[in-house]
């Protein structure tokens, strides 16, 4: 029944013909075994998915260490998420919560200057009165940082849910705010945790955010010199989540006199889907920089706003993946049409933990907007509006197009001259029918695990003369992935932990001047080089890393950065062929001794996550047995005997596209000593704490505990066992009974003033009881005879 509901929803979303897909299922025609087959096939499907190449494992995992990167953090300051590279000043301008820092571009741990921009007590109180958290939301989060043409900086902050902008300058080692206090509505978000996008072009700020306090008026606008924005219509922007914005110089060498464009990437609730639940899709929209709005229709509104859906197909997922970040890469020696958009996508449901990186050609996106079909809303009998492909006549000039030579020939030199028919068309139909597909209609990188957050792409020229795109991806766990796609082979070179404790990476920047990548998070900022080749200590490890930035220097016998070495290096990035590597230096053996009948562990760790370890004894392969346990980090010898003495060697075996390569990692000379001797490195087997057997045992123990508790509760209820709070009473009664049945004789004693203190205390208690009674009765005192003197 779920299939019958879900399938027509998705076919409508993608604009396919519902009649071509048999989705109307008769429940009476479905055999009862069909449901059972689904449950049988589900584990098989999960198994196939687990063994799929999408489980891309980084070859090297680098744990957190202070030497991994240059770090910057100031006590009491958080949210280092806005970055501006001022390579002309050798600065990294870092925007945080209520502070802006000017850091050394070559070493960001060195702070040159800083300036505070804090909210006033009145602003904080007003924000608190509006229902916002004074400790987190009612602060000033720096969200906009751009360089102006006069070398100043334009900066905006959330300012306790009342956004404000200002100009900032750096001179004589100081950062200075001019305190002009410009209104930041539409330029900067109100909510510090809301996604936004902005770009500065010719002192004109293009921004995508919300216009009001509630965040219910999303807008894509240009603030200056001529203010212009989008319509407040769901067909234009429907609950968007803005991601990134960039500009393209499409007027350069344009044959038809085209205009420059501004592209904005975002996700929103799809209006074209007649789904029962809201479906989020990824979008790219563009506007022309020379757009001035219409004369009567669309006054001070974009006349060139067009948007299209972006697809990043992952495992033929039914629900589309959602864009989280975008990076524009252009070859300075090629035309703008050869530029590429690299985007990060994540699933919109909790049923998948895959993240992906897809690449798109700018020319493909431009072609959809210039030549593609439009979608149009069509009322149907039901309460919703259905969007279908528009097949009618398209007016001239083409709706959403920039002013070009063809329009100028018709006397249309500005958007103010556009006819109302064109303007009304784009006002009602801003959505394109065709979806934009990635290059080769597949992702460049897909990985299961930590969610992708940000992406940066560089280009490296390898030793073979070829150029490769190196993808750096930030994750929610504070790690940075470095990956390359070699002819549709997804290969992750390494994963480096940048922040501890783990914090999501919220910004990434790359500097061509320093060749470093800068990452920002709530905790702080980090700076790392493009490659750390010295992590490889051998030629084989250096070559198998397949890093286009690194190669093995045969003269210096070390792994070096390619651009800094003028000597011939060994490198094989596409195949990972390490056959050209010279023989490695022999491993120095370590002497170990063990008592007979005892256990010994020989440590060995593979230098790569893709490698497996193999053991040899006296140059012969060693196979796992009852007394030889192969562990992930070594070999465990159980119940050693004289025959176990010998030379043990651990090999790291790693397979690449070229061949299988092995390398000696550790070597031990093991001797069996007489009883009472040994080096003290004895190992006793430890209980296994993971795996299916242990999990089953834990379930059995849990069930036994539940049964025991139920049995106890039943015995308490039936009275077979005393309740805990009645135990004291029963113990007292049993003690009293025991004392009465003892052999000590009881005598009657009257108060004659010669009793001991203990007896007086007993009488005092008895007299207190007498005073409580209505009639005073004098009774002799009962007393145990403790010794002969009492007799």
CATH number for the domain spanning 347: value is 2.130.10.10
pLDDT at 739: 41
Q: Please report whether residue 424 resides in a domain.
A: yes
- Please check whether residues 631 and 770 belong to one and the same domain: no
Mean per-residue pLDDT for 398-409? 93
Query: Sorting pLDDT into bands at 50, 70 and 90, what band is 774?
Result: very low
Nearest 5°: phi and psi at 325? -165, 160
Q: Above 50 in pLDDT, residue 686?
A: no
pLDDT at 6: 34
- Please check whether residues 541 and 507 belong to one and the same domain: no
| Tokens describing residue 215 | 């965040």
Of all residues in the chain, what percent carry a pLDDT higher than 90?
A: 61
- Please check whether residues 608 and 748 belong to one and the same domain: no
Separation of alpha carbons 237 and 211, rounded Å? 13
Q: Please report whether residue 215 resides in a domain.
A: no
Separation of alpha carbons 776 and 779, rounded Å? 10
Separation of alpha carbons 14 and 517, rounded Å? 38
Mean per-residue pLDDT for 535-546? 93
pLDDT at 723: 59
Of all residues in the chain, what percent carry a pLDDT higher than 70?
A: 80
Q: Please report whether residue 269 resides in a domain.
A: yes
| Tokens describing residue 290 | 């020379």
Domain count, the chain: 7
pLDDT at 382: 65
Q: Please report whether residue 521 resides in a domain.
A: yes
- Please check whether residues 426 and 356 belong to one and the same domain: yes
Q: Are 199 and 220 in contact (CB under 8 A)?
A: no
For residue range 297-315, list pLDDT tens digits in order: 999 999 999 999 999 998 7
Query: Sorting pLDDT into bands at 50, 70 and 90, what band is 695?
Result: low
Write out the E strands in 211-260.
218-222, 228-229, 241-248
- Please check whether residues 634 and 711 belong to one and the same domain: no
pLDDT at 175: 95
- Please check whether residues 600 and 712 belong to one and the same domain: no
pLDDT at 15: 42
Q: Please report whether residue 59 resides in a domain.
A: no
For residue range 14-38, list pLDDT tens digits in order: 444 333 333 333 333 334 333 333 3
Q: Looking at 644, 672, 700, which one is the last position of a domain?
A: 672
- Please check whether residues 537 and 526 belong to one and the same domain: no
Separation of alpha carbons 503 and 80, rounded Å? 11
pLDDT at 764: 37
Q: Is the peptide bond before 169 cis (omega within 30 degrees of 0)?
A: no
End-to-end CA distance of the chain: 95
Helix then strand then coil, in percent of the chain rounded to 5, is 20, 35, 45
| Tokens describing residue 363 | 């020319």
Q: Above 50 in pLDDT, residue 677?
A: no
| Tokens describing residue 79 | 């949210």
Within 8 A by CB and 6+ apart from 29, the residues are none
Q: Above 70 in pLDDT, residue 508?
A: yes
pLDDT at 167: 96
Mean per-residue pLDDT for 237-251? 94
pLDDT at 736: 43
Could you tell me which residue, 627 or 508, shows the higher pLDDT? 508
| Tokens describing residue 579 | 């056959």
pLDDT at 51: 39
Q: Please report whether residue 87 resides in a domain.
A: no
Q: Above 60 in pLDDT, residue 743?
A: no
20 by DSSP, 3-state: which? helix
- Please check whether residues 630 and 779 belong to one and the same domain: no
Query: Sorting pLDDT into bands at 50, 70 and 90, what band is 45?
Result: very low
pLDDT at 755: 38
- Please check whether residues 296 and 376 belong to one and the same domain: yes
Mean per-residue pLDDT for 66-78? 92
For residue range 613-642, list pLDDT tens digits in order: 999 999 899 988 888 999 988 999 998 888
- Please check whether residues 378 and 240 belong to one and the same domain: yes
Query: Sorting pLDDT into bands at 50, 70 and 90, what band is 715?
Result: confident
Q: Above 70 in pLDDT, residue 117?
A: yes
- Please check whether residues 549 and 597 belong to one and the same domain: no
376 by DSSP, 3-state: which? strand
pLDDT at 110: 96
For residue range 429-478, list pLDDT tens digits in order: 999 999 999 999 999 999 988 899 999 999 999 998 899 999 999 999 99
Q: Please report whether residue 372 resides in a domain.
A: yes
Separation of alpha carbons 778 and 773, rounded Å? 12
Mean per-residue pLDDT for 178-190? 93
Could you tell me which residue, 13 or 525, shows the higher pLDDT? 525
For residue range 75-98, list pLDDT tens digits in order: 999 999 999 999 999 999 999 999
Could you tell me which residue, 15 or 400, shows the higher pLDDT? 400
pLDDT at 154: 96
pLDDT at 727: 44
Half-sphere exposure of 128 (CA within 13 A, CB side): 10
DSSP letters, 630-687, are EETTEEEE-S--GGG-EEEEEEEEEE-SS-EEEEEEEEEEEEEPPTT-S-S-B--PPP
The parent domain of residue 565 ranges over: 533-575
Q: Please report whether residue 476 resides in a domain.
A: yes
Query: Sorting pLDDT into bands at 50, 70 and 90, what band is 789?
Result: very low
pLDDT at 696: 67
- Please check whether residues 729 and 624 belong to one and the same domain: no
């Amino acid at each position: 029944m779920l299939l019958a509901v879900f399938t027509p929803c998705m076919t409508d979303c993608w604009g396919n013909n519902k009649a071509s897909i048999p989705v109307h299922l008769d429940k009476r025609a479905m055999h009862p075994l069909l449901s059972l087959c689904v449950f049988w096939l589900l584990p098989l499907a999960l198994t196939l998915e687990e063994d799929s190449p999408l489980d891309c494992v980084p070859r090297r995992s680098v744990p957190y260490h202070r030497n991994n990167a240059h770090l910057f953090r100031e006590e009491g300051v958080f949210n280092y998420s806005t970055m501006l590279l001022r390579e002309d000043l050798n600065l990294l301008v870092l925007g945080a919560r209520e502070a802006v820092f000017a850091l050394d571009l070559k070493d960001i741990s060195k702070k040159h200057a800083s300036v505070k921009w804090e909210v006033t007590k009145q602003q904080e109180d007003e924000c608190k009165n509006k229902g916002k958290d004074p400790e987190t939301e009612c602060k000033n989060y720096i969200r906009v940082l751009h360089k102006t043409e006069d070398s100043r900086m334009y900066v905006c902050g959330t300012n306790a849910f009342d956004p404000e902008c200002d100009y900032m300058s750096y001179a004589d080692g100081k950062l200075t705010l001019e305190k002009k206090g410009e209104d930041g509505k539409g330029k900067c978000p109100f909510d510090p945790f809301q996604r936004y996008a902005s770009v500065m072009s010719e002192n004109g700020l293009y921004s995508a955010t919300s216009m009001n306090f509630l965040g219910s008026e999303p807008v894509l606008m240009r603030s200056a010199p001529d203010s212009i924005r989008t319509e407040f219509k769901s067909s234009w922007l429907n609950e968007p989540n803005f991601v990134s914005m960039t500009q393209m110089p499409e007027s350069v060498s344009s044959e038809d006199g085209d205009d420059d464009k501004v592209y904005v990437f975002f996700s929103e609730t799809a209006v074209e889907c007649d789904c029962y639940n809201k479906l989020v899709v990824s979008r790219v929209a563009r506007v022309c920089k020379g757009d001035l709005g219409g004369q009567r229709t669309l006054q001070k509104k974009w006349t060139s706003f067009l948007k299209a859906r972006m697809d990043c197909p992952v495992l033929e997922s039914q629900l589309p993946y959602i864009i989280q970040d975008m990076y524009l890469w252009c070859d300075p020696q090629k035309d703008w049409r050869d530029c590429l958009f690299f985007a990060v996508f994540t699933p919109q449901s909790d049923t998948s933990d895959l993240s992906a990186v897809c690449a798109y050609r700018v020319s493909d996106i431009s072609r959809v907007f210039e030549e593609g079909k439009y979608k149009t809303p069509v009322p149907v009998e039901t309460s919703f509006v259905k969007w279908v492909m528009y097949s009618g006549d398209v007016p001239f000039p083409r709706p959403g197009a920039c002013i070009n030579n063809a329009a100028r020939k018709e006397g249309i030199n500005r958007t103010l001259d556009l006819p109302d028919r064109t303007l009304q068309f784009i006002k009602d139909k801003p959505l394109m029918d065709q979806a934009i597909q990635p290059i080769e209609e597949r992702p460049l990188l897909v990985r299961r695990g930590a969610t992708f957050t940000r992406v940066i792409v560089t280009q490296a020229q390898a030793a073979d003369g070829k150029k490769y795109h190196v993808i750096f991806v930030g994750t929610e766990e504070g790690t940075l992935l470095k990956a390359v796609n070699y002819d549709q082979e997804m290969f992750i070179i390494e994963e480096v932990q940048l922040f501890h404790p783990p914090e999501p990476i919220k910004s990434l920047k790359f500097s061509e001047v320093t060749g470093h990548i800068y990452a920002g998070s709530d905790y702080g900022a980090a700076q790392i080089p493009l490659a750390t080749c010295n992590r490889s200590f051998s030629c084989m490890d250096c070559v198998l890393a397949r890093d286009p930035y690194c190669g093995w220097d045969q003269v210096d016998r070390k792994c070096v950065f390619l651009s800094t070495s003028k000597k011939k290096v060994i490198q094989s990035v596409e195949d990972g062929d390490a056959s050209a590597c010279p023989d490695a230096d022999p491993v120095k053996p370590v002497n170990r001794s063990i008592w007979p009948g005892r256990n010994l562990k020989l440590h060995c760790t593979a230098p790569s996550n893709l490698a497996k370890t193999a053991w040899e004894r006296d140059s012969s392969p060693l196979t796992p047995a009852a007394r030889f346990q192969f562990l992930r980090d070594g070999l465990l010898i159980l119940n050693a005997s004289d025959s176990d003495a010998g030379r043990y060697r651990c090999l790291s075996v790693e397979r690449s596209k070229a061949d299988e390569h092995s390398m000696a990692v550790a070597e031990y000379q093991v001797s069996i000593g007489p009883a009472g001797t040994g080096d003290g490195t004895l190992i006793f087997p430890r209980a296994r704490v993971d795996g299916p057997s242990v999990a089953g045992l834990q379930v059995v123990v849990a069930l036994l505990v539940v049964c025991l508790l139920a049995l106890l509760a039943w015995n308490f209820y039936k009275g077979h066992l005393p309740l805990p709070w009645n135990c004291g009473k029963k113990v007292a009664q049993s003690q009293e009974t025991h004392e009465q049945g003892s052999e000590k004789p009881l005598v009657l004693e009257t108060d004659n003033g010669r009793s001991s203190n203990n007896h007086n205390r007993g009488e005092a208690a008895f007299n207190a009881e007498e005073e409580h009674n209505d009639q005073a009765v004098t009774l002799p005192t009962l007393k145990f005879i403790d010794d002969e003197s009492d007799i």
